[in-house]
Structure 1
Amino acid sequence: MPQANLALIVGRGALPGAVAAAQETPPLICALQGHDPDHLDVDIRFRIEHLGGFLEQLRAHGVAEVCFCGAITRPEIDPAQIDAATTPMVPVLAAAVAGGEDSALRAVVGLFETAGFTVRAAHDLVPDLLPKAGMIGAVQPGPDVGAALPAAQAVSGAQGQADLGQACVMRAGQVIAREDARGTDAMLSDLVADADGAVLEDNPFGATADLAREALDSAADWRSDPDAPNREGGFLFKAPKPGQDLRVDLPTIGPDTVKCAARAGLDGIVIAAGGVMVLNMAEVRRILDRAGMFLWVH
């Protein structure tokens, strides 16, 4: 296995592949067991009970910098599996598992920093992931969207203070959905299920379920289908949590999110400028324009 200055500590989804592809020198790809990323070969898989030994592995491979990217679920710790190098970390790991999502991330990041690694943000490694403020695509939002933004921001802030989700859906000035631990796309899939009268399988990692994916893949075409449901309006709002460490778990949207929003009958998406990454912008723009939706980086 080659030496590498940078290691990606990855979870599920497309973000790890986007970050890896943008690096001139291939990074070391390290995945928490059971959390392999999309379309990316993993060099090292590790258990949280072996974190101390894993940090030693990183040093042996010449790693100086790490980047956390991708979705994970909080693992349960099996005390019988803890290795000797991890034993001194047990109090911190136990507190992380017992706390909220943000506190858990801060604890794990702190362990890497204490071990001497520099933590890099995904958007520092791939600046194009953070779009500039303004409108993206051919469609402009109506004045009702701007009028509803303060309420959406207040809801997002309250969710963040409670260490809950990073997104909500507004319709006619009212909150109709709030993100939970399953992620943004699962929240939108719930709206689709409500509209269609069918229950779609939920994916706890924020990606749409395989059962729903075939329907969502055709979302950009349903405007031209005379039998398609009428658009009910509203918009998805997504922003970081107040006080969030922007180096890790920065909110992300991509083509699947736009397809979900289209299928849910939304008019568009508003994301916080400098606080939400966009994967595969060219595809996102294509889907937005075909679906007649807006994306406002506010």
Structure 2
Amino acid sequence: MDTLCIVAGEGTLPFSVARNARNQGLAVYVVGFEGTTDPSLEQHVDGLCWIKLGQLGKLISYFKNHEVTRAVFIGRIAHKVVFTDLKLDFKMLQLAMKLKDWRTDSILRLIADEITANGIEVIDSTTFIPELLPKPGILTRCKPDKKQQEDIHFGFYIAKRLAGLDVGQTVVVRKKSVCALEAIEGTNKAILRGGELGKKDVVVVKVSKPNQDMRFDVPVIGEHTIDVLKQANAAVLAIEAYKTILIEPEKVIAKADSYNIALVSADSSAFEFSKYETNGRGV
């Protein structure tokens, strides 16, 4: 039997992956992080091992002991964890010496390469939840007006460049002016800061990175995000089609409609950004 191991962060997505994988006949094990992963996940899988962030050697040993053939990273782990008192084991210390920086992609790709070198395939994190990836379109009954559509277009231009630097994936704009850029503080705090500066009817855009590695750090939107948008007096949330995970889509869409917030899923490849360029450089 093919054996999958879920490297689980916080939230409900690890549960969805576990359920769908088991329905496909896979044995499913979990590696959870103390203080982050929901302990009740253990009731839905074949086994769970608790580790601390930085214990890469223990992670790989668990994979091998359970003959894991594929691993999937799913669930949020806050980026600011790099500033906590991490206890790196010897295996992780060896890898850390190879890091050129401590950006998310740099860390995760190095870890994925080490796991792959030990014979375990790290797969696309959306493999078992394709139904949570929205197609292009306006998902809510509430629709953006013409000026808001222009802000979506401008927001995608800015957000894609921000994401390309692996700094953040969310921008808040109003009247084609940038109110906030996400950094290590995370999406929700960036939205609130942008809402405070933009005053009302801000447009929030959340995108994937250019050449997004779908194995990890795929953008995620849930009901709590919509609550934050309401608090920030946002009028629109635009996300990237096919590359954004909507947790419990029906509930997210219903809540957005109840707050009169338009939820738009857009294909960024359909946008033309040349009008924002100056002498071949970004604004």
| TM-score interval (norm. to shorter) | 0.7 to 0.9
Change (3 A) 1:284 1:27: same
RMSD between superposed Cα atoms in Å: 2.5
Match of 2:161 in 1: 158
The partner residue of 2:66 within 61, 64, 68 is 61
The partner residue of 2:117 within 108, 114, 118 is 114
What one-letter code is carried by the residue in structure 2 that aligns with 1:43?
L
Change (3 A) 1:55 1:158: same
Change (3 A) 1:186 1:39: farther
Identify which range, 285-294 or 27-36, moves more after superposition: 27-36
The partner residue of 1:104 within 97, 102, 107 is 107
Identify which range, 115-124 or 44-53, moves more after superposition: 44-53
Match of 1:259 in 2: 227
What one-letter code is carried by the residue in structure 2 that aligns with 1:36?
T
Structure 1 length as normaliser, TM-score? 0.77
- Would you say the 8 A contact 1:18–1:279 is kept in 2? no
Q: How many residues align?
A: 254
Q: How does 1:276-287 map to 2 (within 5 A)?
A: 276-287=244-255
Match of 2:94 in 1: 91
Change (3 A) 1:20 1:174: same
In the alignment, structure 1 residue 15 sits paired with structure 2 residue 13: yes
Change (3 A) 1:240 1:39: farther
Identify which range, 89-98 or 52-61, moves more after superposition: 89-98
Moved over 6 A (4+): none
What one-letter code is carried by the residue in structure 2 that aligns with 1:158?
R
Other structure's SS at 2:243 match? coil
Q: How does 1:120-131 map to 2 (within 5 A)?
A: 120-131=123-134
TM superposition shift of 1:11: 1.4
TM superposition shift of 1:155: 1.5
Q: How does 1:1-298 map to 2 (within 5 A)?
A: 5-23=3-21, 24=23, 25=26, 27-37=28-38, 40-41=41-42, 43-72=48-77, 73-74=81-82, 76-78=85-87, 82=89, 86=91, 90-96=93-99, 98-191=101-194, 194=196, 232-298=200-266
- Would you say the 8 A contact 1:96–1:105 is kept in 2? no
Unaligned residue ranges in structure 1 (runs of 5+):
196-230
Match of 2:273 in 1: none
Structure 2 length as normaliser, TM-score? 0.81
- Would you say the 8 A contact 1:16–1:37 is kept in 2? no
What one-letter code is carried by the residue in structure 2 that aligns with 1:8?
I
Identify which range, 118-127 or 26-35, moves more after superposition: 26-35
Change (3 A) 1:264 1:236: same
Change (3 A) 1:78 1:262: closer
What one-letter code is carried by the residue in structure 1 that aligns with 2:120?
F
TM superposition shift of 1:257: 0.5
Per-residue deviation, residues 95-124 of structure 1 (Å, max 9, x unmatched): 348431111111111111111111122311
TM superposition shift of 1:174: 1.2
Structure-2 separation of matches of 1:111 and 1:101:
16
TM superposition shift of 1:274: 1.4
Change (3 A) 1:50 1:247: closer
Identity over aligned pairs, percent: 22
Change (3 A) 1:249 1:49: closer
TM superposition shift of 1:63: 1.1
Change (3 A) 1:8 1:96: farther
Other structure's SS at 2:256 match? helix
Structure-2 separation of matches of 1:162 and 1:62:
37
TM superposition shift of 1:34: 3.5
Per-residue deviation, residues 30-67 of structure 1 (Å, max 9, x unmatched): 12344324853381112355422331221211211110
What one-letter code is carried by the residue in structure 2 that aligns with 1:91?
Q
- Would you say the 8 A contact 2:159–2:171 is kept in 1? yes
Unaligned residue ranges in structure 2 (runs of 5+):
267-283
What one-letter code is carried by the residue in structure 2 that aligns with 1:31?
G
Structure-2 separation of matches of 1:135 and 1:141:
9
Per-residue deviation, residues 70-102 of structure 1 (Å, max 9, x unmatched): 2223365546xx35xx3xx63323334843111
